[in-house]
């Protein structure tokens, strides 16, 4: 494996110059410039920035600047091999000397990279947390630090260090050694998702009490959020993909490996190119499926949450959840894998009563202490409130992270509730009837029953089980006949979500909690949404679907409007890029993003200088590909 490419001549080490000459961008976004300046000057930082917001530049630019000032190598802690490979590949394409150390390398490759590192020639080295804290690695870092060749530490996916975070990894706990052992080396910790409790935990565990905290807006205006109640969820998913995302790349998350396999097989049988990914598959299969997802178009990856962290594929057009995530942090992290290119994308989720029951059971049955369980229940409740909401989902989502916002009705990709405000109904009396019926069960014989039997009694349905238990004699028999079965399930789901009901045992029987009396006394009002499918992006009806499908040909539409000739140039550039990517064994987007190709097709640069003004065309790429691009454009 080639270690890296280097620029032919050193450029000035100012952040703006590096940004332009190496990465091809004319200006930093948001707080990037302030973060970069702070780290270059030797300061510690905690950076919270949404997925796709440009976190990597916040440590890559300082690493390059400090290396050009003879301050050595930057060490990047990264949790996944795929993430390391893609980021190193992108840096190599940009002309930055980078490498990674992980289990995919041979002994000869490891030794070669270690020589590059110890010689101070590497700009960035990516390592997993468990490798970083080995005696051998620490001894090497000691030597670099003694010679002034350790420029900074970047801890990516920093939420992994927190027990309150959604993806806790024990190996991250040992990273406090960096502060203890190398107090003079700046550290930057980065994450896309962390609430107040998780942020405080990151600061404590990584000893970042003196670090500056940078919090960017969590809003991702190109993402449309939609939630539907489960009603044959696989068919709902298929309808969503066919109507809204035919031919698009997407990720479908399921809770279990079995469900991943079954869903991928079913989608494949329906004519989609669907692949499975979970920890139960062999390493070669996982690698092959991930490579196809990164390098090909129109792949739907069906996966457990084992897939996705660090995936930089920019044109994922949708993320779908067939099961409820654990909390809002997990949901936001996973949905953030869509639309990293800034183009419209969807976050779609289907959930039902069983999801609520399963998530609560997993929390209750975990070996964790009661404080942890209580915290996780609170996080789950916040997610359920988001799912059940009949007002703006974006406002609720951002409020969870402490950010105030306006409702997203004016967005091009507004949430489903803003696009089509749902009808609501007052379920207060229905909730009282349900709780009263459960109380009557207990009075009659002390027995507990599940949701199905409760709904039968409330609706006055005489089943064999009702007759056997003599429940037709209860005063609550038939008092909810005016409420549909689907509505009753919404009521029960909400009662569980709000903590007025809890489930018990193998059969998920329903039990009143101590707070149920507040509902029974009429002190709590429950206003619930009428359930419906999420609205279509381009309007409903067959005509809308036909128009949407007509706009999605095998050749994807450019990210900016182009005329017929411009679109032809865009497709020619994509074909050229595909050849280069195959030759370099890289995903196509690492060579150039679609946005850069579209800008080339529109601007029609007729010289290398003009081409160098296109966003994303750095000095190394201009040197390597400039004349070929001009040839493809006909110049």
CA pair distance 152, 172, nearest whole angstrom? 17
* pLDDT at residue 532 in the model: 56
Model pLDDT for residues 287-318, shown as the tens digit of each residue: 899 889 988 889 999 999 878 665 778 899 99
The phi and psi torsions of 164 (rounded to 5 degrees) equal -90, -15
- Residues 401, 218: contact at Cβ < 8 Å? yes
Report the SS3 class of residue 594.
Answer: helix
CA geometry: angle at 85 spanning 80 and 86, to 5°? 100
Closest CA to 278 of 295, 261, 299, 298: 261
The torsion region of residue 157 among left (phi > 0), alpha (psi -120 to 50) and beta comes to left
CATH for 621 = 1.10.150.80
Q: What is the pLDDT of residue 554?
A: 44
Report which of 352, 338, 329 is spatially closest to residue 301, judged by C-alpha positions: 338
Single pTM value for the model: 0.80
Q: What is the pLDDT of residues 598-609, one digit of tens each?
A: 999 999 999 999
DSSP labels, 472-486: GGSTTTTTTTTS-HH
Does residue 498 sit in the same domain as residue 372?
A: no
Other Cβ atoms within 10 Å of 306 Cβ, number: 15
Task: Let me know if residue 381 belongs to a domain.
Answer: yes
Domain containing 521 — which CATH number?
A: 1.10.10.10
Whether the per-residue pLDDT at 80 is higher than 80: the answer is no
Q: How far is CA 558 from CA 120, 287, 537, 551, in A?
A: 42, 29, 18, 11
Tokens of 125: 């080295």
Neighbours of 426 (CB within 10 A): 11
Is 535 part of a structural domain of the chain? Answer: no
256 and 209 within one domain: no
Residue 9 placed within a domain: no
Whether 544 is covered by a domain: the verdict is no
* Residue ending a domain, choose from 503, 529, 555: 529
What would the mean pLDDT of 269-280 be, rounded to a whole number? 95
**DSSP calls for 382-393:** HHHHHHH-SS-H
User: For the domain that residue 334 is a member of, what is the CATH number?
Assistant: 3.40.50.300
**Nearest partner of 120 among 170, 58, 52, 74, judged by Cα:** 74
Flag whether 291 is in a domain: yes
Q: What is the pLDDT at residue 12?
A: 65
Q: Does residue 197 sit in the same domain as residue 250?
A: no
In this structure, are 258 and 336 located in the same domain? Answer: yes
Q: Are residues 244 and 389 in the same domain?
A: yes
Which of the listed residues 480, 507, 529 is the one where a domain comes to its end?
Answer: 529
312-340 pLDDT, tens digit per residue, is: 788 999 999 999 998 898 899 899 899 98
**Interior/surface letters 590-614, b for 16+ CB within 10 angstroms, e for the rest:** bbbbbbbbbbbbbeebeeeeebbeb
Please state, in angstroms and as integers, the Cα–Cα distance from residue 487 to each residue in 221, 351, 450, 532, following that order.
32, 14, 16, 12
Query: What is the C-alpha to C-alpha distance for residues 511 and 523, in angstroms, rounded to an integer?
Result: 20
Residues 140 and 52 reside in one and the same domain: yes
Residues 194 and 250 in one domain: no
225 vs 388: CA distance, rounded Å: 13
> In angstroms, what CA-CA distances link 184 with 148, 161, 216, 322, 375?
10, 22, 27, 47, 36
Which domain does 597 fall in, by range?
A: 564-632
Residue 283 burial (10 A CB sphere; 0-12, 13-18, 19+): exposed
Is beta strand 124-127 parallel, antiparallel or unpaired with respect to 98-101? parallel
pLDDT exceeds 60 at position 71: yes
**Whole-angstrom distance, CA of residue 536 vs CA of residue 245:** 11
Residue 534 belongs to a domain: no
State whether 244 and 347 are in the same domain.
yes
**Are 107 and 157 in the same domain?**
yes
Residues 201 and 237 in one domain: no
Domain identity same for 580 and 466: no
Name the DSSP class of 587: -
Q: Is 607 helix (H, G, I), strand (E, B) or coil?
A: coil
Q: Do 374 and 295 have their domain in common?
A: yes
Residue where a domain stops, chosen among 183, 215, 247: 215
Q: Is the pLDDT of residue 592 over 50?
A: yes
Query: Does the structure show a pLDDT above 80 at 15?
Result: yes
Contacts of 573 (CB under 8 A, 6+ apart): 592, 597, 600, 601, 629, 632, 633
pLDDT in tens, 527-586: 887 765 544 554 433 333 333 333 333 456 788 899 999 999 999 999 999 999 999 888
Total tally of structural domains belonging to the chain = 4
128 inside domain: yes
User: 412 in a domain, yes or no?
Assistant: yes
């Amino acid at each position: 494996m080639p270690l890296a490419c280097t620029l032919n001549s050193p450029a000035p080490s100012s952040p703006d110059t590096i940004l332009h000459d190496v990465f091809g961008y004319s200006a930093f976004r948001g707080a990037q410039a302030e973060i970069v300046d702070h780290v270059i000057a030797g300061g510690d930082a905690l950076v919270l920035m949404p997925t796709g917001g440009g976190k990597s530049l916040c440590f890559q630019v300082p690493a390059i600047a400090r290396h050009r000032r003879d301050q050595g190598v930057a060490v990047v802690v990264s949790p996944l091999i795929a993430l390391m490979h893609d980021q190193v590949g992108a840096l190599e394409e940009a002309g930055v000397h980078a490498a990674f150390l992980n289990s995919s390398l041979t002994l000869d490759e490891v030794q070669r990279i270690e020589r590059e590192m110890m010689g101070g020639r590497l700009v960035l080295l990516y390592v997993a947390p468990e490798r970083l804290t080995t005696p051998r690695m620490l001894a090497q870092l000691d030597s670099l630090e003694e010679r002034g060749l350790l420029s900074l530490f970047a801890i990516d996916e920093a939420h992994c260090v927190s027990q309150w975070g959604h993806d806790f990894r024990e190996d991250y706990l040992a990273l406090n050694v960096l502060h203890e052992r190398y107090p003079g080396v700046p550290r930057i910790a980065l994450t896309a998702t962390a609430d107040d409790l998780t942020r405080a935990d990151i600061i404590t565990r990584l000893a970042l009490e003196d670090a500056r905290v940078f919090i960017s807006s969590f809003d991702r205006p190109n993402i449309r959020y939609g939630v539907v109640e489960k009603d044959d969820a696989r068919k709902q998913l298929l309808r969503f993909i066919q109507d809204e995302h035919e031919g698009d790349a997407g990720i479908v998350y399921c809770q279990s490996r079995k469900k991943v396999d079954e869903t991928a097989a079913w989608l494949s049988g329906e004519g989609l190119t669907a692949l499975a990914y979970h920890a139960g598959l062999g390493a070669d299969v996982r690698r092959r499926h991930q490579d196809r997802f990164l390098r090909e178009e129109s792949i739907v990856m069906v996966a457990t949450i084992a897939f996705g962290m660090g995936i930089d594929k920019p044109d994922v057009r949708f993320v779908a959840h067939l099961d409820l995530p654990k909390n809002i942090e997990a949901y936001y992290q996973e949905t953030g894998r869509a639309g990293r290119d800034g183009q419209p994308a969807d976050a779609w989720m289907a959930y039902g009563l069983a999801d609520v029951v399963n998530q609560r059971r997993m929390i209750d049955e975990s070996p964790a202490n009661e404080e942890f369980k209580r915290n996780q229940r609170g996080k789950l409740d916040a997610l359920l409130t988001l799912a059940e909401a009949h007002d703006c989902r974006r406002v609720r989502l951002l409020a969870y992270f402490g950010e105030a916002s306006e409702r997203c009705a004016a967005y091009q990709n507004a949430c489903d509730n803003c696009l089509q405000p749902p009808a609501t109904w007052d379920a207060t009396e229905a909730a009282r009837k349900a709780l009263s019926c459960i109380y009557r069960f207990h009075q009659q014989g002390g027995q507990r029953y599940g949701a199905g039997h409760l709904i039968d009694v409330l609706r006055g349905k005489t089943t064999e089980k009702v007759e056997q238990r003599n429940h037709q004699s209860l005063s609550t028999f038939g008092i909810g006949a005016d409420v549909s079965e689907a509505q009753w399930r919404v009521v029960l789901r909400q009662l569980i979500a709000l903590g007025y009901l809890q489930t018990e045992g193998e059969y998920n029987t329903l039990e009143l909690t101590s707070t149920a009396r507040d509902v029974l006394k009429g002190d709590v009002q429950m206003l619930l949404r009428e359930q419906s499918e999420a609205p279509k992006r381009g309007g409903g009806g067959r005509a809308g679907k036909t128009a949407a499908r007509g706009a999605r040909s095998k050749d994807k539409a450019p990210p900016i409007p182009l005329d017929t000739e411009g679109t032809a140039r865009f497709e020619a550039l994509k074909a050229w890029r595909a050849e280069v990517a195959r030759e370099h064994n890289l995903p196509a987007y690492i060579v150039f993003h679609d946005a850069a190709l579209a800008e080339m097709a529109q601007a029609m640069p007729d010289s290398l200088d003009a081409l160098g003004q296109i966003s994303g065309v750095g000095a190394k790429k201009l040197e390597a590909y400039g004349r070929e691009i001009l040839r493809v454009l006909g110049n």
